[in-house]
């Protein structure tokens, strides 16, 4: 039997898809490409924006029309929040929310036996399960899910409804899994979660304690902490990263709004002053650190006057680039009850302007690194006779592929950043 999977959304979803597929492979299934004919299509979905949901619908339609005899399973966040809508799509056989998706193999085996459609989007409110998982982006980099769920309930966010309360495994269990990742040969591990900074909240442990233990696994050369809430990125963690063996000077710190008024409407747990001071602290101890920030354009209250303040604030930050999202209301979120809605065309215009600021910031960051020598982990990707990699501070670089380059794959070398190729956002 063959299985084909398509994943939408975050790195967490990718790690979980890998984990689910490996269960099928252990049971004798064979994985094929999503564009090939398969006996089972799995779509691991995302609900973060209206666009993400549209992509899910398209992927589901692609699967249902690819092979009329195939089983189609829709799992994950969109399946959690919109099971009735998905059940209305012809050809979908199994719908599992986040509480059940790790049991997909059992659901599929039951479906093969009795051919009864299944929909289960129950998310236990107490003691939901936690599954450690990891995925290989390629031979060099691995996304490692160390945490799931969120207790914050920001007013725009549907994720706590889709993934439940914050939870994680113990440090001992997490370190044991990291040793398995190390044994697989991965040199770089990206720690991911929904609200990574709340790691250990259910066990009386902390993210700082985890990072200190992970740093001792010598076979893993590099760690990145993916996204972490500003109020949870403590001075202790920043200082530890600066002095650690393997944690890299690269941070992804959601800002979401550059205005105290809007941050408060969003129920975020920091203000602009706090955020600014945090970034200054990071740059003080790691001057070459890459800092990325998520920001939402067009949330309630972002009038033209307020947006001018947002732009000024973002321009003042020592960030390397932004991930800009255009705000769209998600079902059941608290924002639906708030005043101050912004017209959709204004949201898009704000988004465009923030993207322009981001492009400029990125150019400035790259320019600041020109002429520097940084350590690069080389990947197996070869495009147009070039081999690619990332510096410790997350700059994509390339050099000509030669017969000797094969030996570079999955190793780190010092690399001089001397020629910036703007269109590809890479250094040569
Ligand atoms: S911290 Fe806020 S934005 Fe992030 S997942 Fe939790 S509720 Fe959503």
Residue 381 has what pLDDT? 80
Report how far residue 47's alpha carbon sits from residue 57's, in angstroms, rounded to the nearest whole number.
11
Q: Is 153 in the pocket of ligand 1 (CB under 6 A)?
A: yes
Where does 204-344 show beta strands of DSSP type E? 222-225, 250-252, 290-297, 321-326
Overall domain count for the chain: 3
- Whether the CA torsion 369, 374, 379, 382 is positive or negative: it is positive
Q: Quick one: 347 and 204 in the same domain?
A: yes
Q: What is the CATH number of the domain that holds 26?
A: 3.40.50.12160
Tokens of 140: 């060099």
Report how far residue 232's alpha carbon sits from residue 207's, in angstroms, rounded to the nearest whole number.
9
Indicate the SS3 state at residue 404: helix
Q: Quick one: 257 and 214 in the same domain?
A: yes
Give me ligand 1 centre to Cα 66, in Å. 36
Of the three residues 55, 87, 120, the one that is the final residue of a domain is: 120
Q: Quick one: 104 and 87 in the same domain?
A: yes
Q: Quick one: 161 and 51 in the same domain?
A: no
Q: Quick one: 292 and 401 in the same domain?
A: no
Domain-located, residue 70 = yes
Domain-located, residue 49 = yes
How long a stretch of residues is the chain?
428
Domain housing 45: 2-120
Q: Quick one: 398 and 341 in the same domain?
A: no
Domain-located, residue 125 = no
Residue 42 has what pLDDT? 97
b/e 94-133 (16+ beta carbons within 10 angstroms → b): bbbbbbbbbebbebbeebeeeeeeebbbebeeeebebebb
C-alpha dist (Å) from residue 82 to 6, 7, 45, 75, 337: 18, 17, 11, 11, 20
The model scores a pTM over 0.85: yes
Of the three residues 73, 91, 120, the one that is the final residue of a domain is: 120
The number of the ligand 1 atom at minimal distance from the alpha carbon of 267 is 2
DSSP 148: B
Q: Quick one: 229 and 80 in the same domain?
A: no
Quick one: which of 220, 210, 19 has its CA closest to 133? 19
Residue 139 has what pLDDT? 65
Q: Is 221 in the pocket of ligand 1 (CB under 6 A)?
A: no
Q: Quick one: 87 and 164 in the same domain?
A: no
Backbone φ and ψ of 416, nearest 5°: -90, 120
Site of tokens 């233990």: 213
Give me ligand 1 centre to Cα 12, in Å. 14
Q: Quick one: 380 and 362 in the same domain?
A: no
Of the three residues 348, 367, 386, the one that is the final residue of a domain is: 367
Domain-located, residue 126 = no
Q: Is 152 in the pocket of ligand 1 (CB under 6 A)?
A: yes
Q: Ligand 1: which residue has its CA nearest to atom 4?
A: 195
Tens place of pLDDT for every residue, the chain, 428 residues?
A: 999 999 998 888 999 999 899 999 999 999 999 999 999 999 999 988 888 899 999 999 999 998 889 999 999 999 998 999 999 999 999 999 998 999 999 999 999 999 888 888 877 666 678 889 998 766 688 999 999 999 999 999 988 888 889 999 999 999 999 999 999 889 999 999 999 999 999 999 999 999 999 999 999 999 999 999 999 999 999 999 999 999 999 999 999 999 999 999 999 999 999 999 999 999 999 999 999 999 999 999 999 999 999 999 999 999 999 999 999 999 889 999 999 999 999 999 999 999 999 999 999 999 999 999 999 999 988 888 999 999 999 999 999 998 888 899 999 999 999 887 776 678 88
Domain-located, residue 128 = no
Give me ligand 1 centre to Cα 267, in Å. 10
Residue 423 has what pLDDT? 63
Maximum pairwise Cα distance, the chain: 65
Q: Ligand 1: which residue has its CA nearest to atom 2?
A: 154
Q: Quick one: 110 and 141 in the same domain?
A: no
Mutate to test the pocket of ligand 1, among 152, 164, 252 (most ligand atoms within 8 A of CB): 152
Spatial strand order of the sheet with 2-7 comes to: 30-31, 2-7, 40-45, 71-76, 94-96, 118-120
Give me ligand 1 centre to Cα 259, in Å. 18
């Amino acid at each position: 039997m063959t299985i084909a999977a398509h994943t939408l959304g975050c790195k967490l979803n990718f790690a979980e898809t890998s984990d689910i597929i490996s269960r099928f492979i252990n049971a004798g299934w064979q994985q094929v490409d999503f564009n090939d004919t398969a006996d089972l299509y799995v779509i691991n979905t995302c609900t973060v924006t209206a666009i993400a949901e549209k992509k899910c619908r398209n992927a589901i339609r692609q699967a249902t029309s690819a092979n009329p005899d195939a089983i189609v399973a829709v799992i994950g966040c969109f399946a959690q929040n919109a099971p009735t809508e998905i059940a209305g799509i012809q050809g979908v056989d199994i719908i599992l929310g986040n509480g059940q998706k790790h049991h997909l193999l059992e659901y599929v085996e039951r479906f093969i036996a009795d051919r009864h459609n299944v929909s289960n989007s129950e998310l236990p409110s107490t003691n939901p399960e936690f599954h450690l998982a990891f995925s290989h982006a390629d031979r060099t980099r691995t996304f490692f899910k160390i945490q799931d769920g969120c207790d914050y309930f920001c007013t725009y966010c549907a994720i706590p409804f889709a993934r439940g309360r914050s939870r994680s495994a113990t440090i001992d269990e997490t370190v044991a899994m990291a040793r398995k990742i190390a044994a697989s040969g991965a040199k770089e591990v990206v720690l991911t979660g929904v609200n990574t900074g709340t790691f250990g909240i259910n066990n009386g442990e902390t993210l700082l304690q985890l990072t200190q233990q992970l740093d001792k696994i010598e076979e893993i050369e590099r760690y990145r902490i993916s996204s972490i809430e500003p109020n949870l990125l403590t001075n202790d963690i920043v200082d530890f990263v600066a002095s650690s063996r393997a944690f890299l000077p690269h941070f992804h710190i959601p800002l979401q709004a550059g205005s105290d008024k809007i941050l408060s409407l969003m129920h975020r747990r920091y203000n602009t002053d706090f955020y600014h001071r945090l970034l200054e602290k990071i740059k003080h101890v790691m001057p070459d650190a890459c800092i990325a920030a998520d920001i939402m354009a067009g949330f309630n209250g972002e009038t033209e006057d307020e947006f001018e303040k947002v732009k000024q604030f973002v321009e003042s930050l020592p960030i390397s680039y932004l991930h800009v999202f255009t705000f769209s209301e998600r079902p059941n979120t608290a924002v639906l009850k708030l005043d101050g809605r912004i017209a959709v065309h204004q949201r898009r215009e704000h988004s465009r302007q923030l993207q322009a600021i981001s492009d400029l910031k990125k150019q400035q960051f790259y320019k600041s690194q020109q002429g520097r020598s940084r350590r690069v982990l080389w990947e197996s990707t070869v495009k147009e006779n070039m081999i690619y990699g990332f510096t410790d501070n997350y700059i994509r670089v390339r050099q000509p592929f030669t017969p000797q380059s094969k030996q570079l794959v999955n190793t780190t070398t010092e690399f001089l950043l001397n020629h910036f190729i703007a269109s590809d956002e890479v250094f040569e």
